[in-house]
Structure 1
Amino acid sequence: MFERRFTVQGHQGSVLSLFTGAGGLDLGLEAAGFETRACLEIDPFCAETLQNNRPEWEQLKCRDVTVAAETVKPKDLGLKVGDLDLIAGGPPCQPFSMAAQWANTGRRGMDDDRAQTVVAMLDLVEVFQPRALLIENVAGFLRGEISASPFIRERLAEINAKHGTAYSLHAQIIDSAAYGVPQRRNRVIGIATRDGKLMELPVPTHADAPIRAWDAIGDLAEADLPVPQGNWAGLLPSIPEGSNYQYLTARGGGEELFGYRTRYWSFLLKLARDQPAWTLAASPGPSTGPFHWDNRPLTARESLRLQSFPDSWNLAGPFRQQIKQAGNATPPLLAEVFGRALLTHLNGVPADVQEQVRPTLLLGQLEGPLRKPAEVLPVPERYHDKKGAKKAHPGTGKGPKPREVAPSQSRAGLVSSSDAVQQELAW
């Protein structure tokens, strides 16, 4: 069963939280044994969420990390330089996200103005000189051609040369589902310790037996359910659980309405109750999944469950702001697992002793059989004019935009890829 309460370990380390968001990273680190000494969050809805759930976490008044880098000192947290155990956070991911390739202004890496937050994060590392730095982000943040990794490594080398530290960044891409999170969420974990020693990463515990979406949300019965919106919402009952729009292409099992791989992966994507959820989006458009197997958007509570938050955690703001907070969050269970490993490394606790402690945010399987998937329905009549042969995407490396359609299909109401993206992002 889902563990809706957790035990906070005795404080064994201190953390300055950056880009705190809805508090997922901090909540997991708290469960592992860290104490959040202060946090920085600029979004007012996230700040309200943190205040409502953890009023004891001091929110620094400046809120903006670029301002904090110039003004906040260790003494403001009752510390001296070098006393802080950890700086942790996930800078804004849009400049490095694969999803951003669908937008004209996406994937600019460190050339993006929003990447100045990365500069500020490293400036704070120099100011505090913590025992460790922990970063959780999309894989492209520390891997790939436009990643922030070269800048971070160069900046850490400058700090080392100036202060005699030995920070060295080590990064690993992981799937959150491999550690018990009921969601396939590929993220990069970056860790740099002041002594330069490589931390032993926690061993995946659920790689071969992931927690299912059913285990996380199958027992929920909420009264206020969101209604699907947009031109394509009526197609959801015509797509099987665990599939997306590709079921309605020449290579799928349904009728051909779309060209193969001509739309983004999450278009009309549905959960399968016998598998972990697909990655939750922070700003989904009306056709962006994952959708519930009952052919509707997820509720905020379902999103939190799929992120491994306990039910005691409540999000502030209107529905769309709550979905944004949930989708942007670090899964608390993932943070707890890596937080325990980090404390093991920093405090010199033998790894075999640490591994005997069961993460308190870990989910189990729901009792009883799974409900059978709903019958896949025929494509509704109002979409019949979209039927017909479509060109597939030209292939790997050709980018997201080449979505060629016949003139007759354009007249039928299909739009260009860039227009479709803007419609999705505008919801």
Structure 2
Amino acid sequence: MTSSAHHQPILDKPFVLDLFAGPGGLDVAGQLLEIPSLGIEWEKSACLTRYAAGLDTLHADVSAVRRESFESLPPDINVLAGGPPCQTYSVAGHGAGRQALKQVKGYIERLMAGEPDHEIDKDLRTLPDPRTALVLEPLRYAIRATTSPNREGRPYDVIVLEQVPAVAPLWQHYAKVLEESGLPDGTKYKVVVGVLDTETYGVPQTRSRAVLIARREGLGDPSLPAATHRSYEAKEWNRKNGTAEPEQAVDRIHQPTLDEGVAEPRNDADLRPWRSMRDALKKPVGSHPGRLKPFLVRSNYGSSGIPGRRGVRTDQQPAATVTGRISRFVVFEHLDENVVYEGPRFSMNEAGMLQTFPPDYPWSGTAQSQQVGNAVPPLFGAHLLAAALGIPEPDPEVLTKPWQQATEEQRAKLRSIGCGAADACTDKCPRAEDQVPPPSSVRPRKSTKKGPAT
């Protein structure tokens, strides 16, 4: 169910706790909507990006904060949000989470029944990949809030979650228990779950996400955000434009740029056309010089597991799903009327812009491609928050202006709070090896090749 009804804010002063906050997609969304947020993120480089962006951050393990320092969180937080790590559920991963869906549903039931944490934690340690259990953390935070002396037992008013489509069955189970049995203290929520396509919210990229929006009973029925743009249909594009292989696409790369009117509306003629890569990258802004030449992009990665979205796309189409492999996407430009050649690949600035991060967002540390790919597209996140809170949809033009980076003094202050020191991590900061399992603990993919192993 989606809604474009009259906006009626349900909270006077929303304050978001962003679990698994990454480099700041949901926090940028909050700033776009003028909503304060606090992010918890365990990966050091993502935290460095957040500090450089001026975002309030705790460099910490989400599970450890819940167990050991929940009472130190601001008591006026009333919106719980997050996107748990997707590696074990994503079609690009090994699938340990998908294989454990039934088990995880059982843990949801046990949590809602009020079973002690130590009993559940003992059993969770038997999962092949411990990251699978992180999808339970939002529920565990919601339960923890109702027993917090610092909060006087006040539950969160709103919950907003997003993940890869494979997690939709778990969000549906979340919805069932939140509505029917409620939290152990009796708090119930009204919940809506759906799988949404980001290009239908103005993101120049095809990316499908399973989302959950919950409101505490008494705050009205939630709705999914109403689409603002048309859906990208790969088959329709291919039918009209033919193949997009670089060697066969010279004629198309020389075509005049279309006025974003290629995709026909499916149901609502009032929807705006989906946004293309060219629309997102063509104009010089900040340090971005602009992608003025027509181009093609070849990716060997699909979009949310949909084969029809794989392959080569022109600058007149949305990007394929931006992942940690974005730096490997090959970009072709034209040399003359009969030749295409490999041009410069996407910079991190451009990759971020395809995710709707503002130009000059301060990507920092290592694994920057992974940071970009793992992030919630800020424009999409803003639509989710706006729908959840009953406030007007965001103005996307704000995200096209260069980001105002934090000063060195501001970074030092943020890191002093988030890490415990102005210029370094401390003993309280998590280590990557403490959370990522060794490769042998993850079930490998089954080979599709025939014959003896080599």
Normalized against structure 2, the TM-score is what? Answer: 0.59
Provide the residue aligned with 1:72 in structure 2. Answer: 69
Q: Is the 8 A contact 1:25 1:335 kept in 2?
A: yes
Counterpart of 1:252 in structure 2 is: none
Q: CA RMSD in A?
A: 3.8
- Say if 1:106 and 1:117 are closer, same or farther in 2 by CA, change over 3 A: closer
Partner of 1:423: none
Counterpart of 2:229 in structure 1 is 206
Q: Is the 8 A contact 1:179 1:204 kept in 2?
A: yes
Greater shift after overlay, 324-333 or 109-118? 109-118
The separation in 1 between residues aligned to 2:98 and 2:383, in whole angstroms, is 30
**Residue 243 of structure 1: how far off its partner (Å):** 6.3
1:93 aligns with 2:92: no
Q: 2:58 aligns with which of 50, 55, 60?
A: 60
Aligned to 1:187: 209
Post-superposition offset of 1:285: 8.8
What is the CA distance between 1:269 and its match in structure 2?
A: 3.4
User: For structure 2, which runs of at least 5 residues remain unmatched after alignment?
Assistant: 1-10, 105-126, 146-154, 231-264, 266-272, 290-294, 334-341, 402-444
Percent of paired sites with the same residue: 26
Q: Provide Cα deviations, 1:222-265, integer angstroms capped at 9, x if missing partner.
A: 899xxxxxxxxxxxxxxx9466679xxxxxxxxxxxxxxxx995
For 1:172, the aligned partner's letter is G
SS in 2 for 1:87: strand
Distance 1:13 1:26, change over 3 A: same
Which of 193, 197, 216 does residue 280 from structure 2 map onto? 216
Cα 1:400–1:292 shift into 2, 3 Å: farther
Q: Contact 1:41–1:64 at 8 Å: present in 2 too?
A: yes
**How big is the shift at 1:403?**
5.2
Quote the Cα distance in structure 1 between the aligned partners of 2:321 and 2:43.
22
Q: 1:317 is aligned with what amino acid?
A: G
SS of 1:117's equivalent?
A: helix
| 3-state SS in 1 of match to 2:58 | coil
Q: Which digits, 9 at most, give the CA deviation of each residue in 1:197-244, with x for residues without a partner?
A: 4312222111140111001122359899xxxxxxxxxxxxxxx94666
> 1:30: how far off?
2.2
Change (3 A) 1:98 1:68: same
AA in 2 matched with 1:298: F
Give the conservation status (yes or no) of the 8 Å contact 1:12–1:33.
no
TM-score (norm 1): 0.62
1:323 maps to amino acid: S
Aligned to 1:333: 379
* 1:277 is the counterpart of 2:319: yes
Matching residue of 2:23: 22
- More strand, by proportion: 2
Structure 2 equivalent of residue 43 of structure 1: 43
- Which letter does structure 2 place at the counterpart of 1:131? D
Match of 1:172 among 187, 194, 197: 194
Contact 2:213 2:224 in 1 (8 A): no
Q: 1:403 to 1:159 in 2, by over 3 A?
A: same
Contact 1:283 1:323 (8 Å CA) reproduced:
yes
SS in 1 for 2:311: coil
Tell me: CA distance 1:179–1:309, structure 2 relative to 1, closer, same or farther (3 Å).
same
Q: Which residue, 140, 145, 164 being the options, matches 1:138? A: 164
Which of 356, 369, 372 lines up with 1:323 in the alignment?
369
Cα pair distance change 1:363/1:184, threshold 3 Å: farther
**Partner Cα separation in structure 1 for residue 95 and residue 182 of structure 2:** 38
- Distance verdict in 2 for CA 1:175–1:315, change over 3 Å: same
- Superposed CA deviations along residues 63-100 of structure 1, whole A, max 9, x for unmatched, are 10111111233x52342xxx432111100111211222
Deviation at 1:400, TM superposition (A): 8.2
